[in-house]
Structure 1
Amino acid sequence: MKTSTEAEARSQDVDWAPLRGALRGAVILPGDERLLLASKQFAAGRPLAPPQALVCCQDTADVQRTLEFLLRHELPFSVRSGGHCFADLSTSAAVVVDLSELNPVEPREGVTVVGPGARSCDVSKRLASVGRVVPTGGCPWVAIGGLALVGGFGFLGRRHGLTTDQVERMRVVCADGRVLQVSADEAPDLFWALRGAGTGGFGIVTELTLRTAPLEALTVVNGRWALTEAAALMELWQRHAPEAEADVNLELGLVAPDDPELPCGVELFGVILGDEASAANHLSALERHLGPLASGLRTWRLPPAEAADYLVGLLDHETAPAWLPSLPYRQTGYQFTRSNFFDEPLGPEAIRACVEQFQADRRYAQHRELELIPWGGAYARANGRSSFIHRKARMMIRHTTVVGARSSEELREHAREWVDGSQATVRRHANGHVYQGYADLRLDDPHRAYYGDSLPRLQRLKHQYDPRNVFRHAQSLPVP
């Protein structure tokens, strides 16, 4: 096998005509303005070079032919469905195999059959038209393929579980070109592995069947306060949100605008599911728990169609149409994100240190967020049924900074340092595990952090299904 440098150099001299002639999709090369499709909204801290080829597959046969071609020419490649990997693992190889055009959404009785490139917003809109919904995250542009393989949490998660928990069947192109149907009854070991560790390098998923649920009206909850209330709110939130009934899913966020002359704030946001009477009871319990701080709360009752838009991020936290970037991305910003899971609440000292770090040394054009995400509910009920190990956690904390496309290297490094410092204030209280959907290149042992005690079994399955390590990136599972 050639070294990565040799293979990347050779990719510039490959005759792509045979592959172009064999595909329904397109092979996009440098000099073609469509190569802009390879760009991302945010990169993981450094500029991304465009690939030497972007191969856009339209069906499973395209994926098979592309894989055979790339292996014959010994070309390094990555596979992406939406291109939202926080560590650029799906975008940084010389050749990017793009699945965004494998995007059908076909509702059926109680399930939906989707392509991995279908965006969450498109899945939501199509299902809403027939009165159904599937749990996804809150970013409408994220593709369902990557989301369903790493976990996928959102406002429906505490009632229905992760996106990956809804997967009932998958079609997978293996390293040797075979196509497998994977489910609890067919290749059940691979089915277990793909649901939670599916980006670890087992194969290319070209179709998913997901269980759906009835789409119902819901109540949106939002509250805003000055940062002076952050410590009190974090303490109150920890004793309520992770313990609330599964119909209640409320996150707490600290937000620092990108202009340091503007004040930081605290925001409570999320949903209460169920009918109006039930939602009113849950809201009353929340108000009693918050005490005087409850005066900052507001609520909206959304009918099913608007509820679907809110759940997938097409509406903002106050139910207004959300701002969405234009596609394709002509400029790439930079995002730094780290996460931890916690089995116990943070104590007052850790909370105080976290709040102090949040507002320390702010810089112009640097946006910060600290997000507290409740776990429990249905997240815990699927323990052991998939390779997703983060079932018994109480909460997750996400530390994020974003800077623009024209930011200096010094500002990017400062943003990275703030994220590291923020995580350091709470790391010793965490359980040692990290959400694989927030891929993190700065982890000392990412496989243990993502997969914990599932790692030995996952490595055996990696060797079984990909013994030559065909599917690899900087954090793919090692072949034992």
Structure 2
Amino acid sequence: MDRRVFLSAAALAPFAGAAPDWRALDKTLKGRLVRPGDATYATAKRVFNVAFDNASPRAVAYCATAADVAACVGFARRNGLVVHPRSGGHSYAGWSTGSGLIVDVSQLKAVKHTAGLATVGSGAKLIDVYSTLAKSGVSIPAGSCPTVGVAGLTLGGGIGVVSRRYGLTIDVLKSVSLVTADGKLITASANSHPDLFWALRGGGGGNFGIATSFTYQTHPIQDVTVFTMRWPWSQAFAVVKKWQKWAPGAPDALWSNLHLSQDPGRSVSITGLYLGSRSRCEALLKGFTAPTRTVRSMGYLQAMYFMAGCSTLASCHTGPRDRFSASSHFAYTEMSDSTIRALIAQVARPGRHTVLIDALRGAVGRVAPGATAFPHRNALFSLQYYAHFENASPWVRSARDSMTPRLGKHAYINYPDIGINDYKSQYYGSNAPRLAQVKKTYDPAGFFRHPQGV
């Protein structure tokens, strides 16, 4: 063990016999500290997935400033506590909570736009980012879940509804401000801490520090066209086969996803967004004949509400929590007929579950796999296995395991799955060794850790 590692490890150790002085931390914070026994503790410790309600953190720190985040990191380091960074609380694997100190950045939610750049607090919810930027006539490429925190979405890559035109969220990221393991607030960009900046673009949340703000290049917005097409289950094979040949190679302005669902009944649907007119969108869809088909033009922000499954900003914030299990794959080649049938058979099994398939390529595929930490640039599409309620986890595990020999060993870090043993190669591919080196440089003692750390 070299001297730096030894000193860092020593700094993590608690003072012998000393209990954490929570009152001292509370007095330090401009935000508030919630502890077991407090009236708001049961609510404060919640994350989006109901399955993690049994977690019992030592405390939840609602940080009002970047200095609050640094104070929490220093306190945890001195007292040998594990920290659980939390932005939106949507971590599929429950890494936003645990038995240590939750460092909640939801109060760092300011969204500002100046000269084509958006500076966004790490605790901002995605729908608020869309809504605020729309007032300036701009946006950033990102996802569809309205209450997901911008931090987790960005750090894992950021697959979204305009990615084929504008790239992943990380492809417009210009800088990240974060608190590192030594309690320092730094800014990583192409010109400052470039190796760390590379790692933060797809290396996943909770590995290198706690982000406090992001700066993105924005794009102008316009009216767009959204569409939905539905078929009976008997048409599932034909729809999947046709969609996978069409969607990844469509014009960049068109994004779509395909749902194979049993939730609760069986259904097949394609939903999408086109950055252009309704007439042009109709022309691009002419190869699909669907019993139910809706094509509508609307404002950009209204389209983001539509994709989120809500109709107003208020309703986007009030959706129910969920009890779920999930996993993922990337498809680098078109699925064979037998693979499509195998996938359909998995969805047809009893339960409440969906396979969500998102088209990639376009701008996503024009970035080299090693240019950022996100390695899946050459994939045609991603697949997410998502199941609710009882027996959700067994279905996800069985479905993914059965499809892995057919689709290969690739997975998305933003849909973390603790059942994946060789997770480094599946999440990061050939970028894993470089990520490990960045980790050694910025967090040599492994202060920031979770079960699938780099």
> Is TM > 0.5 for Structure 1 vs Structure 2?
yes
Sort the Cα spacing of 1:176 and 1:321 in 2 relative to 1 into closer, same or farther, 3 A. Answer: closer
SS in 1 for 2:377: coil
What is the match of residue 285 of structure 1? 284
Q: Partners in 1 of 2:269 and 2:280 — Cα distance? A: 22
Instruction: Quote the residue 2:152 is aligned against.
Output: 146
Tell me whether 194-203 or 387-396 shows the greater mean CA deviation: 194-203
Against the structure 1 CA distance between its residues 47 and 98, is the aligned structure 2 distance closer, same or farther, given a 3 Å change threshold?
A: closer
Partner Cα separation in structure 2 for residue 272 and residue 88 of structure 1: 34
Q: Distance in 1 between matches of 2:99 and 2:167?
A: 33
| TM-superposed deviation, 1:285 | 3.3
Residue of structure 1 in register with 2:392 after alignment? 415
CA offset digits 1:184-223 (Å, max 9, x no partner): 1111111100110042511121111011111111111101
Which secondary structure does the structure 2 equivalent of 1:152 belong to? coil
Instruction: Give, in angstroms, the shift of residue 228 of structure 1.
Output: 1.0
Q: Is the 8 A contact 2:248 2:360 kept in 1?
A: yes
Q: What is the CA distance between 1:49 and its match in structure 2? A: 1.8
Shift of residue 286 of structure 1?
2.2
**Quick one: which of 401, 414, 435 aligns to 1:424?**
401
Q: CA deviation at 1:388?
A: 0.7
1:317-336 superposed matches below 5 A: 326=318, 333-336=322-325
Between the aligned partners of 2:317 and 2:107, the Cα distance in structure 1 is 20
| 1:14 Cα deviation after fit | 2.7
Aligned partner of 1:65 among 64, 71, 87: 71
- Paired position in structure 1 for 2:343: 354
* Stretch moving more, 450-459 or 298-307: 298-307
2:357 pairs, out of 372, 375, 379, with: 372
Q: What's the counterpart of residue 230 of structure 2?
A: 224
Which residue identity does 1:128 align to in structure 2? A
Provide the aligned C-alpha RMSD in A.
2.3
Map 1:232-271 → 2, pairs under 5 A: 232-258=238-264, 263-271=265-273
Aligned partner of 2:428 in structure 1 is: 451
Does residue 471 in structure 1 map to residue 445 in structure 2?
Answer: no
> How many residue pairs align between the two structures?
441
Corresponding residue for residue 396 of structure 1: 382
Check if 1:202 corresponds to 2:204: no
Cα drift, residue 311 of structure 1: 4.8
Summarize deviations over 1:45-77 as a string: whole Å, max 9, x none.
565323120011111111111111111111122
1:201-258 deviation line (CA, Å, top 9, x unaligned): 1112111101111111111110111111111101111110111111111111012224
Q: Which of 306, 311, 328 in structure 2 is aligned with 1:310? A: 306
Q: 1:382 to 1:93 in 2, by over 3 A?
A: farther
Residue 439 in 1 paired to residue 416 in 2?
A: yes
Three-state SS of the structure 1 residue aligned to 2:212 is strand
In 1, distance between residues paired with 2:114 and 2:317?
Answer: 31
Kept in 2, the 8 Å contact 1:120–1:140? The answer is yes
Describe the shift of the 1:439–1:20 C-alpha distance in structure 2 as closer, same or farther (beyond 3 A).
same
Is structure 2 residue 130 aligned with structure 1 residue 124?
yes
- Partner residue, 2:119: 113
Following TM superposition, by how much is the alpha carbon of 1:333 offset from its aligned partner in structure 2, in angstroms? 4.0
Which residue identity lines up with residue 385 of structure 1 in the other structure? A
Three-state SS of the structure 1 residue aligned to 2:334 is coil
Determine the C-alpha separation between the residues in 2 that align with 1:65 and 1:90.
19
Partner of 2:414: helix, strand, or coil? helix
Instruction: Give the superposition deviation at 1:116.
Output: 0.5
- Please report how far the alpha carbon of residue 133 of structure 1 lies from its aligned counterpart in structure 2 after TM superposition: 0.9
Distance in 2 between the 1:93 and 1:381 partners?
42
Partner Cα separation in structure 1 for residue 400 and residue 315 of structure 2: 28
The answer as to whether partners of 1:342 and 1:429 remain within 8 angstroms in 2 is: no
Q: Which residue number in structure 2 is paired with residue 81 of structure 1?
A: 87
Q: Does the C-alpha gap of structure 1 residues 461 and 40 become closer, same or farther in structure 2, counting only changes over 3 Å?
A: same
Q: CA deviation at 1:282?
A: 4.0
- The verdict on how the C-alpha distance between 1:336 and 1:102 changes in structure 2, with shifts beyond 3 A counting, is same
Residues in 2 aligned to 1:322 and 1:130: alpha-carbon distance in whole angstroms:
20
Distance 2:350 2:180 in 1: 49
* Deviation of the 1:19 alpha carbon: 0.9
For residues 5-63 of structure 1, give each alpha carbon's deviation from its aligned partner in whole angstroms, at most 9, with x where no partner exists: x98xx99x5321111111101110011122212202314x5653231200111111111
The answer on whether the counterparts of 1:432 and 1:449 sit within 8 Å (CA) in structure 2 is yes
How big is the shift at 1:447? Answer: 1.2
The answer to whether residue 48 in structure 2 is matched with residue 41 in structure 1 is: yes
Residues 47 and 18 of structure 1: is their aligned pair in 2 closer, same or farther, counting only changes over 3 Å? closer
Q: Residue 378 of structure 2 aligns to which amino acid in structure 1?
A: K
Partner of 1:176: 182
The 1:216–1:325 alpha-carbon spacing in structure 2 relative to 1, beyond 3 Å, is closer
SS state at 1:209 partner: strand
Task: Indicate if the aligned counterparts of 2:56 and 2:99 stay in contact, CA closer than 8 A.
Answer: no
The aligned residue for residue 272 of structure 1 is 274
Go from structure 1 to structure 2 and tell me whether the alpha carbon gap of 1:108 and 1:451 turns closer, same or farther (over 3 Å shift).
same
Residues 452/89 of structure 1: CA separation in 2 closer, same or farther (3 Å cut): same
Taking the aligned partners of 1:20 and 1:200, their CA distance within structure 2 comes to 23
> Where does the alignment leave 5 or more consecutive residues of structure 1 unmatched?
404-410
The percent identity for this pair of structures is 32
Deviation of residue 83 (structure 1)? 0.8
Residue 309 of structure 1: CA displacement?
2.8
Instruction: Quickly say closer, same or farther: Cα 1:57–1:434, change in 2 above 3 A.
Output: same
Task: Answer yes or no: is the 8 Å Cα contact 1:350–1:425 preserved in 2.
Answer: no
The verdict on how the C-alpha distance between 1:257 and 1:321 changes in structure 2, with shifts beyond 3 A counting, is: farther
